[in-house]
Every structure is written in structure tokens, then in C-alpha cells.
């Protein structure tokens, strides 16, 4: 199929429909409004349904219901809207239902601003909901990767019966880039015999619930969830290693900032300074094993983020004391400039050499 | 080859669509392209700009920090963006609305009375296409035909009648800078 030029939000919505999504429930918020706009226009053409809910809380609970009936379903929002959905996400994870949640994040805390930010790293990877649950988090850096990961997210969500989060930001949502809708690898999926799609008088009703009043039963349930999350850690980690050979510093960055870092790498290589990039594609499970591939030439790690440093903890856990970890970030909707990152790299090298 | 173009003006001048057409044309020619709009609580008459990158290599960041070309459709855009231009960069000024010179002397400035030419053609909204024609004439970054193909895709069959006007606007813009 030929490449087409699309806006990020539209590409994500189109990919969802190609990935089998037939139901979308959402509530408007900048900078992701083109997603519901596209869904409102296109879902009915494929026999699906779009509902603009009265609130984010309503939208996520509609997702809960549709997922419970076995449908492929998605919601999207931006930072404060995702915060409002957290209760529902915890319930969906507890009830073990598949769904895809897109977060085109903006600056916070509070109402914050509308420019791109990565200040939702904690929210996406740790979750604002309660209890022992996890969500798989994909952080695409290009629109092609967004399209591929959104399509795959529905397979992965069904495979694990768990919510999958797509973590983008205002830049990914608003920019245009050519995309191609390719076939994605299909997983072997068991039938959704748990779905509440009508007994037709032939079986006992299925019940979807996250309530376990007996602590022994709830503990058993939670350990079973844990075992599932461990399988995700084992099998679903994704990352990109770029330009690490002979490098002195590895910059760890994801999504939008990883693209700025690639500019930095190319500028510095002209000056004879070799810098590599470790780009987590899954923010959870975090690509800890990628750190074992870091070559001996590396003297330090540098985290570059559009936040005041939310990924540093994960980097330090993965680094396990093997390298010093430095940080450079901008916040509130500001994007780091190549010049500022270059200055930080040089400052670290002056100290390390 | 890499071109980093900042198109700026006020909302309604067609700076976003000018950038999109260029991006589309680049894609048609097999180049790596990105288009990044400014977005915010803006409306018609407010400021608008987009960053367009066309490259033979994959584009890393779509954000432009040093531009090879700045299109200033109005005075605030000239003031705001001329300092983003690299040395010897291309500065295309809509002289219908900008009556002052740039403060930079190390750039190649062209003055194009885009609104007046467009008005002569019968539609002032085509001012953006005049400037786009000038840009393509100066850089040869994409073929005029690719812009027209992009236009056809964007307009669709219902607006086919607008193609001749736009084609003429592109040609007039090219002619103006050939003479400068």
C-alpha cells in the first residue's frame, strides 16, 4: 500500500480501526481532538459506534462495558483527562479486560497547558489507579511507529486481557508524516468465552467483576495477575539502540525527545564526539535488559525528557550503579533544543575525561 | 539535501496549507518529510506557523531550530522568525503586507507582493500559492507538477476548477523572483 500523509491523531485513529477497533468512547480535550473527530466520522462506516460521553469517567466506564462484551474498544484523551480515567483503568485491569487507551499528553500538573509534554511518565507507567495492576505502555517516536503500535496494541490487549496505553504527546498528535498501513503480526488468540455477549439460552451467564470480598481469593487473583505481568516483562519489552559503537555517553530518551536526540547525535558526530541513544519503546515493561548491551566505552548515561525527570528512577534501577546518571529536561510544554543537550553532553564529558 | 522551512503569517493566509502542499509534494517525490504546526488557542487573524522538513535522509526531529528558508506573510512573522534563518538562508517576504526591511543582512531576501498579484488573478486567497511558486523557483526542491498533483489530492474532484487559478498563481510567483 502506498504511503499517505496524515496528521498523527488521525493516523492513530485510522490505525485503531484497521486494528479492529469498532467502539470508541471519549470526551474532547486538546491536543487529541482529531482522534474522536475521525472516529465520529469513520466508525459508523465500518459498522462500529462512536459515543461522545458526558465525561471522561463515563467514557472509560463505557469502554469497560464494551470490552466486557468482547468488542475491540478504545478511548483517547490528554493528561488531565487520563487522570480522570484512572479509576476505570484499575477496574478494567482488575476485571481482566482488553482495551486500548491513547494519551496524547500535554503539560501539567492540574489543567496545565496544551503543548507537548512527557510529564505523564509516572501516570502512564505507574498508573493513578489503585491496587496491584500494571498496564503495558507503548511510546512511539514517529507516526509510522504510532500506526504500527496502535494496530498491534489491540492484539496485545486481547492476548493478555489487559489495558494497553499508547503514550504520545502533542507533537506526535499534531504533526504530519507519511504513513503506511502494513499487516501486523497476528497473535494466536483464545476465544473470548468470558464475554457477556448473551447466553442464547445455552450457557450460564458470564459475570464480569473486579470485586473479591474474600481476601484469600483476592490475593490469589492478584498473584495470578502478577504472573501475567511477569510474562509481559519477559516477552513484550521493546527498545531501539542507536549509534552505540565507540560512544562515550548514552542518552536515554523516548518519543518526541528521542527525535531531538538523534539530531544531537548527528551534530556531535561531526565534531568527533560519539553519543548513542537508548530509546525505550515500551515504557512499561521498562527495557532493563537493553542496559546490558551498553558497550564498555560508555562513561555515563544522560536522561533527556520533557519533564523534570520522571524516567530517572527507571534508568537508575536498570543501570544498577554501573554508570553515573545525568539529567537534562524541559517542562510545561517546552521541548529541549539540540544546542542545550549538546552543552549538557559536553559538560558531562569535561567532568568524566 | 535537507530543506527546513518555516512558513508564518496570520490565521487565514494559508500558511498551514502552503506547508502541507510542500510536504505532500515532497512525499510524492519519495523524499522524507515532516510537517509540524504551531497549535494553541489561536483563531483567524491570530498568528500561525508551520515547520516543514524535506530531506533525502529520514527526518529526526520535526522541530526546526535553524531554518534554510523563512516565509513571512506578515510583519509579526518577519520580526519573530528572521533570526531563525541560517546564514545565506532564504527569506521570502510578502511585501504587500510587510513594509519594512529585515534586520538581517546575511540572508537572501526576496520581496513578493503576493496579495496584489493574487488580487490581479482574481482571488486574494491565492497569495500563499504566489509565495510557494517563488520558493520552488528559487530552490527547485520539488517539481511544480508535484505541487499540482498534491493540490489535486487535497482539493478532490469537486474543486478541480480551482486548479488553473492555483497553477497560474504558482507561475506568477516564480516569475516575480526570476526577475529579482
* Cβ contact, residue pair A262, B35, below 8 Å: no
A134, HSE (Cβ side, Cα atoms, 13 Å): 21
Q: For the domain bounded by B2-179, which CATH number is listed?
A: 3.40.920.10
Answer whether A266 touches B (CB < 8 Å).
yes
Answer whether B83 touches A (CB < 8 Å).
no
pLDDT above 90 covers a percentage of chain A that reads 97
Which residue bears the cell 465520529? A40
The set of residues, in sequence order, having a beta carbon less than 8 Å from that of A300 and lying 6+ positions away, is A248, A249, A250, A323, A324, A325, A326, A348, A352
- Considering the domain A4-235, what is its CATH architecture? 3-Layer(aba) Sandwich (3.40)
* Cβ contact, residue pair A175, B65, below 8 Å: no
Asked if the model's pLDDT at residue A309 lies above 90, the reply is yes
* Cβ contact, residue pair B20, A175, below 8 Å: no
Which residue bears the cell 484497521? A18
Chain B neighbors of A262, CB-CB under 8 A: 60-61
* Cβ contact, residue pair B27, A170, below 8 Å: no
Of B39, B60, B63, the CB nearest to A31: B39
Asked if the model's pLDDT at residue A1 lies above 70, the reply is no
Asked if the model's pLDDT at residue A303 lies above 80, the reply is yes
Interface of A with B in 223-262 (CB under 8 A): 256, 259-260, 262
Of B37, B61, B65, the CB nearest to A262: B61
Give dist(CA A346, CA A352) in Å, integer: 10
Asked if the model's pLDDT at residue B154 lies above 90, the reply is no
Nearest in space to B19 (alpha carbons), one of B156, B154, B137, B145: B154
* Residue A2: predicted pLDDT: 84
With a cut of 0.85, is the ipTM above it?
yes
What are the structural domain ranges in chain A?
Answer: 4-235, 240-352
Of A176, A178, A260, the CB nearest to B63: A260
Q: How many CB atoms lie within 10 A of CB B155?
A: 14
Asked if the model's pLDDT at residue A334 lies above 70, the reply is yes
Question: Chain A to chain B, count of Cβ pairs less than 8 Å apart?
Answer: 54
Question: What's the mean pLDDT in A123-128?
Answer: 94
Fold: same for A4-235 and A240-352: yes
Interface of A with B in 115-134 (CB under 8 A): 115
* Residue B156: predicted pLDDT: 86
Q: pLDDT (tens digit, 9 = 90+) per residue, A220-258? A: 999 999 999 999 999 999 999 999 999 999 999 999 999
Helices B127-139 and B114-121 pack at an angle, to 10 degrees, of 120
Give dist(CA A161, CA A67) in Å, integer: 10
Asked if the model's pLDDT at residue A152 lies above 80, the reply is yes
- Considering the domain A240-352, what is its CATH architecture? 3-Layer(aba) Sandwich (3.40)
Amino acid at each position: 500500500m502506498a504511503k499517505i500523509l496524515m496528521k498523527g491523531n488521525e493516523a492513530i485513529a485510522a490505525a485503531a480501526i484497521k486494528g479492529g477497533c469498532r467502539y470508541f468512547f471519549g470526551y474532547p480535550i486538546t491536543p487529541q481532538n482529531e482522534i474522536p473527530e475521525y472516529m465520529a466520522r469513520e466508525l459508523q462506516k465500518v459498522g462500529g459506534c462512536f459515543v461522545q460521553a458526558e465525561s471522561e469517567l463515563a467514557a472509560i466506564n463505557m469502554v469497560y462495558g464494551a470490552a466486557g462484551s468482547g468488542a475491540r474498544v478504545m478511548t483517547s484523551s490528554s493528561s488531565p483527562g487520563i487522570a480522570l480515567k484512572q479509576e476505570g483503568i484499575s477496574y478494567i485491569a482488575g476485571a481482566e479486560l482488553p482495551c486500548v487507551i491513547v494519551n496524547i499528553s500535554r503539560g501539567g500538573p492540574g489543567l496545565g497547558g496544551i503543548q507537548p509534554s512527557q510529564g505523564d511518565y509516572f501516570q502512564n507507567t505507574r498508573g493513578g489507579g489503585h491496587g496491584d495492576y500494571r498496564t503495558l505502555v507503548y511510546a512511539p517516536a514517529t507516526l509510522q511507529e504510532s500506526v504500527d503500535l496502535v494496530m498491534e496494541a489491540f492484539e496485545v490487549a486481547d492476548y493478555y486481557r489487559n489495558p494497553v496505553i499508547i503514550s504520545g504527546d502533542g507533537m506526535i498528535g499534531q504533526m504530519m508524516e507519511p504513513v503506511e498501513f502494513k499487516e501486523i503480526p497476528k497473535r494466536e488468540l483464545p476465544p473470548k468465552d468470558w464475554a457477556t455477549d448473551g447466553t442464547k439460552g445455552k450457557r450460564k451467564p458470564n459475570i464480569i467483576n473486579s470485586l473479591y470480598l474474600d481476601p484469600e481469593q483476592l490475593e490469589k487473583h492478584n498473584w495470578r495477575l502478577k504472573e501475567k505481568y511477569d510474562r509481559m516483562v519477559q516477552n513484550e519489552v521493546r527498545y531501539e539502540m542507536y549509534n552505540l559503537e565507540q560512544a562515550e555517553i548514552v542518552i536515554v530518551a523516548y518519543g518526541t525527545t528521542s527525535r531531538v536526540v538523534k539530531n544531537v547525535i548527528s551534530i556531535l558526530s561531526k565534531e568527533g564526539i560519539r553519543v548513542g541513544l537508548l530509546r525505550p519503546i515500551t515504557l512499561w515493561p521498562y527495557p532493563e535488559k537493553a542496559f546490558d548491551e551498553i558497550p564498555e566505552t560508555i562513561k555515563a548515561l544522560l536522561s533527556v525528557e520533557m519533564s523534570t525527570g520522571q524516567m530517572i528512577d527507571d534508568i537508575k534501577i536498570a543501570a544498577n550503579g554501573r554508570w553515573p546518571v545525568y539529567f537534562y529536561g524541559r517542562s510545561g510544554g517546552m521541548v529541549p533544543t539540540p544546542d542545550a543537550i549538546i552543552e549538557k553532553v559536553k559538560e558531562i564529558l569535561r567532568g568524566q575525561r | 539535501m535537507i530543506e527546513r522551512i518555516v512558513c508564518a503569517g496570520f490565521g487565514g493566509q494559508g500558511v498551514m496549507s502552503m506547508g502541507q502542499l510542500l510536504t505532500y509534494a515532497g512525499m510524492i517525490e519519495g523524499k522524507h518529510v515532516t510537517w509540524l504546526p504551531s497549535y494553541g488557542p489561536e483563531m483567524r487573524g491570530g498568528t500561525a506557523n508551520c515547520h516543514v522538513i524535506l530531506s533525502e535522509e529520514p527526518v529526526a526531529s520535526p522541530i526546526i531550530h535553524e531554518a534554510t528558508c523563512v516565509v513571512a506573510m506578515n510583519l509579526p512573522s518577519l520580526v519573530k522568525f528572521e533570526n531563525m534563518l541560517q546564514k545565506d538562508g532564504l527569506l521570502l517576504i510578502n511585501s504587500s503586507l510587510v513594509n519594512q526591511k529585515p534586520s538581517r543582512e546575511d540572508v537572501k531576501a526576496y520581496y513578493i507582493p503576493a496579495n496584489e498579484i493574487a488580487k490581479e488573478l482574481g482571488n486574494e486567497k491565492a497569495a500563499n500559492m504566489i509565495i510557494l511558486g517563488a520558493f520552488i523557483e528559487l530552490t527547485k526542491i520539488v517539481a511544480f507538477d508535484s505541487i499540482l498533483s498534491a493540490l489535486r489530492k487535497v482539493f478532490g474532484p469537486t474543486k478541480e476548477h480551482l486548479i488553473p487559478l492555483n497553477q497560474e498563481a504558482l507561475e506568477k510567483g516564480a516569475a516575480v523572483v526570476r526577475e529579482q
